Structure 1
């Protein structure tokens, strides 16, 4: 074996235990990096079946001209199933990808310790269990590290390299270097519930489900707003139907329970009911949406065309929405400015302001309409609006017409605190800031993980810097005032940074 900073030598034997989807994917990644690979599964015949499945996938890559036939044959020549753990004695790295049961993993690694050499690196692909607990039964727990690949492993670049409480720094460094040599994007993180991605991503699902429970809008509209205004690749309703409602809900529940029922991580009752009813998403034909043959996807609510205002008065600084001023001018709308305030005033008396965690109904000005946050108002194709119950119909129509004049589809949602994108992004930013402050991972690795692991349009910490610590803190404080359960209480890390007028990590 080579020096620690170079990881496992290319000629080093990699063993994968557990030959389900993840095990096969990890084996394929190691093969592509040039390693000899051995597959073991406790179920007789499963390892041989996995070899056949990998051969089929490599064959399809050859058919698509993404792999040469010679490279496929060479890879398959390095791949073999084994029938006994003792056949893994020469392994330089063993990656476990068996079922997510602590006892089963502990039993496996205890058995492996008596088989492999002292220099063999051990890794668990767990996504929800404590690496520290898995290693707790070992004689030498320092050599066990978490290597959390994302599905499908051959395609997804991110790997979370998890250091348990007893993991040696040298072992973590070696695992990190090995994964990097495999062409993946490794990020280091502490052994904490959910690691990086499954911890920080919870609000993306939870806030959309909460908005649905509050009857803000239907799933298709909420998904469209988060995609077309928030910039997310998929909406949370469609995404969890793809993942499986049972799988997604189990991750949420696991993190919530591991964090002693922290209200910030409370699972969704609506999602729990989906799981209880067997509506698990695409795999069962129904979830949030109907996936049965011939079923069409419901369209998001989109407002009918309305007459735009001819002029707008911009009061003060619009903060994250300041880019709207240039868009209005480009659209030929006459814009004048007043120094005080943080809103838009329309000729009919309508007052438009950015979602800030309060509702339009709380505004003392009756003709009040809120508009939601956007990743970039120039590129956003949809904006959500919510009107105060006291606002005249003409006020809402004027607001709709304004955003339509800017080239945006408009979805009208119910007047809930923080609307949709604003509350979701504020929570994501705070979760990321809190994780960085607690040493879960470095700020750079947190943003990298969220960009490459779940394809967010912007790393949450970079997003927070763009929005400003004050805006995020104040939005969450307003949400906390509306829902004083602790769910929206801003983290101490965020409060300190905003108070010191510092940027986010």
Structure 2
């Protein structure tokens, strides 16, 4: 084989007739083995515990049988796949593997020991991959003789169903190895994204604010979990709220990931764990699996309190709009369609709605209503037309009449209204702003491309939009301005906007003015 041929092969997908070995036979190991089998590879399963590999092989075949029963796999394909699956009794039986994927316990010394042994077993052309979700790919490869062939292939659970695979390049990973892993994942029907070795990789790094901001709003006594979840779902467009999602994941797992990312970033306050969630873990209230977390669970399912929903209120008799209300301009069209008289003033007075009381209705911008007289803030929505709920926030100086008219306005637009306490950035706005910030920072630091960031967040955690796309919709400087206002009121550093977001938001303005 020539050097050119070797390079071409190294950068292409693992050939279907080559053996894929999976080390570790838990849920993830079995899922990865199933994916490789269905893709056409011979697969060998290995586990250090005697008999575990054989049990896992039976379980994988059982999964194939269920696919046949559901009409998702032909019987002959099932039979061929089952014939290609072999449990291995020792690492030596993996010697001819072209790819080894590890899915064992999340312990750096244990993984390092395993790969050191594998390096002495497989040939030098074998690609070595870890499915770790929280450990450094660079650190695992650090003790290897040939770290260039080592890469992260982070599948999401359940691996046979979820399409995303994060292909993680460690500090010493060769580009040909990363490309080979990427193309292999794609050949298996997955959607790979390429990223550098950073704490949390893409999804677990960028997703932290989704949980952190919800927990912070709760800890600040601004709203209860059921209301925050309802606003995230019905206004923000997220499939699940942060509280119900962490109950599903398990608080021991979710808090451990948060703590791992926080510690890996040298206790950066932007990744700070939640004290409220720590208390749940300490109390053994881990979510669905223990019957209690933020909510309670039994055989009948989940028991969620009803979210706070305001009583019916009459709509305002008329409104005055000052400015264009961007990026929330669709609200103006909806108000016009509702029949509520709307007078527009083009004077440079900001972007706000003036109610008949003289009070103001302002989009969440990171400021608080206690700083102004008679102000109500309304939260961000993914799409105000399709949103079924909108959150409002009022301070102690907001008159009941102004709040009532604000409630009545959104009810007239067909929305349920949740009134929360005065908190900067409210719920959806502060969450989205922070997601946008971490996404732009990841791109600026070379962790991944904008396209891969958005793909990872849509497919990995089912966000309605990728944060970069959300940034484009809301405007170049929207997220920076919101976070900067929050940071001025809470200078703990948790919501401090990054330098990358500042450059994204204002660099072009500086160039245009020549300053």
The number of aligned residues is 501
> C-alpha separation between the residues in 2 aligned to 1:72 and 1:310?
67
Match of 1:40 among 21, 46, 58: 46
The Cα offsets for residues 480-501 of structure 1, whole Å up to 9 and x where unpaired, read as 0111011111111111222224
Match of 1:463 among 450, 455, 470: 470
2:139 is equivalent to residue 133 of structure 1: yes
2:434 is equivalent to residue 430 of structure 1: no
SS at match of 1:337: strand
8 Å CA contact 1:232–1:455 kept in 2: the answer is yes
> C-alpha separation between the residues in 2 aligned to 1:241 and 1:398?
36
2:209 is equivalent to residue 175 of structure 1: no
2:240 is equivalent to residue 231 of structure 1: no
2:228 is equivalent to residue 222 of structure 1: yes
Match of 2:354 among 345, 350, 367: 345
The Cα offsets for residues 193-244 of structure 1, whole Å up to 9 and x where unpaired, read as 0000000000000000000000111101000000111110110100000000
> C-alpha separation between the residues in 2 aligned to 1:254 and 1:145?
20
The Cα offsets for residues 299-331 of structure 1, whole Å up to 9 and x where unpaired, read as 111111110113211111212211100011111
TM-score by length of structure 1 reads: 0.98
State the partner residue of 1:314.
321
> C-alpha separation between the residues in 1 aligned to 2:271 and 2:11?
37
SS at match of 2:377: strand
CA shift, 1:502, in A, is 6.9
> C-alpha separation between the residues in 1 aligned to 2:196 and 2:371?
42
342-351 or 165-174, which deviates more:
342-351
CA shift, 1:292, in A, is 2.4
Match of 2:276 among 270, 273, 277: 270
86-95 or 459-468, which deviates more:
459-468
- TM alignment of 1:150-165, pairs within 5 A: 150-165=156-171
The Cα offsets for residues 408-443 of structure 1, whole Å up to 9 and x where unpaired, read as 110010111110001000000000001110111111
2:393 is equivalent to residue 396 of structure 1: no
> C-alpha separation between the residues in 2 aligned to 1:31 and 1:465?
40
8 Å CA contact 2:295–2:303 kept in 1: the answer is no
CA shift, 1:5, in A, is 4.1
> C-alpha separation between the residues in 2 aligned to 1:97 and 1:80?
17
204-213 or 484-493, which deviates more:
484-493
State the partner residue of 1:147.
153
SS at match of 2:165: strand
> C-alpha separation between the residues in 2 aligned to 1:320 and 1:49?
56
State the partner residue of 1:187.
193
> C-alpha separation between the residues in 1 aligned to 2:494 and 2:179?
36
State the partner residue of 1:296.
303
118-127 or 336-345, which deviates more:
336-345
2:71 is equivalent to residue 83 of structure 1: no
Match of 1:252 among 249, 258, 266: 258
8 Å CA contact 1:469–1:494 kept in 2: the answer is no
State the partner residue of 1:242.
248
> C-alpha separation between the residues in 2 aligned to 1:438 and 1:15?
34
8 Å CA contact 1:244–1:281 kept in 2: the answer is yes
> C-alpha separation between the residues in 1 aligned to 2:75 and 2:227?
47
- TM alignment of 1:443-462, pairs within 5 A: 443-462=450-469
SS at match of 1:469: coil
State the partner residue of 1:201.
207
8 Å CA contact 2:138–2:172 kept in 1: the answer is yes
TM-score by length of structure 2 reads: 0.96
> C-alpha separation between the residues in 2 aligned to 1:77 and 1:500?
59
271-280 or 288-297, which deviates more:
288-297
Gaps of 5+ in 2: 1-5, 511-515
CA shift, 1:78, in A, is 0.6
> C-alpha separation between the residues in 1 aligned to 2:399 and 2:209?
33
> C-alpha separation between the residues in 1 aligned to 2:52 and 2:337?
63
> C-alpha separation between the residues in 2 aligned to 1:73 and 1:502?
63
8 Å CA contact 1:194–1:255 kept in 2: the answer is yes
State the partner residue of 2:104.
98
2:421 is equivalent to residue 414 of structure 1: yes
8 Å CA contact 2:20–2:41 kept in 1: the answer is yes
Match of 1:354 among 363, 383, 388: 363
CA-atom RMSD, angstroms? 1.3
The Cα offsets for residues 447-489 of structure 1, whole Å up to 9 and x where unpaired, read as 1100111110001011011112322111111110111011111
CA shift, 1:68, in A, is 1.4
> C-alpha separation between the residues in 2 aligned to 1:471 and 1:119?
49
8 Å CA contact 1:469–1:502 kept in 2: the answer is no
8 Å CA contact 2:11–2:177 kept in 1: the answer is no
> C-alpha separation between the residues in 2 aligned to 1:6 and 1:261?
39
271-280 or 385-394, which deviates more:
385-394
The Cα offsets for residues 95-143 of structure 1, whole Å up to 9 and x where unpaired, read as 0000000000000000001110111000000001111110011110110
8 Å CA contact 2:19–2:98 kept in 1: the answer is yes
